[in-house]
Amino acid sequence: MGFERWQVVRVPFPFTDRAASKIRPALVLSAADSFNNLAGHVVLGMLTSAGHAPWPLDCPIGDLAAAGLPVPTVLRMKLFTLDARLIRAPLGQLAMPDRTRVAGALAQLWGEDK
């Protein structure tokens, strides 16, 4: 199954402080045609509860229903690459205003806003 940019998926999220993972939602950031389908891997961003302590460039997800998310959520700039075969299920898709907000934050992350 191919995964498209802006798709919300359920994945085994890797922890950095222990050898374990937890099934969590994540946002597909890489494009299917230029990376995902060719590499068999997907670049993802962590989606987490909006109640956690903030990080720089956290992006709130406004349209939770479209994204398939049950609680207030932010995209956290905790990015990782995962073998596409490990993605458990699609949950939804970011609505256009959320895509615009995330794209702006990613541009800031890469220093493209200058």
What CATH number is associated with residue 16? 2.30.30.110
Whole-number pLDDT of residue 19:
76
Whole-number pLDDT of residue 18:
74
Whole-number pLDDT of residue 113:
64
In a domain, 1, yes or no: no
Closest to 46 in 3D by CA, of 20, 23, 19, 77: 77
Q: Which residue ranges of the chain lie beneath pLDDT 50?
A: none
In a domain, 44, yes or no: yes
Query: Could you tell me the sign of the dihedral formed by the alpha carbons of 20, 23, 24, 27, in that order?
Result: positive
Count structural domains, the chain. 1
Which domain range does residue 51 map to? 7-101
In a domain, 27, yes or no: yes
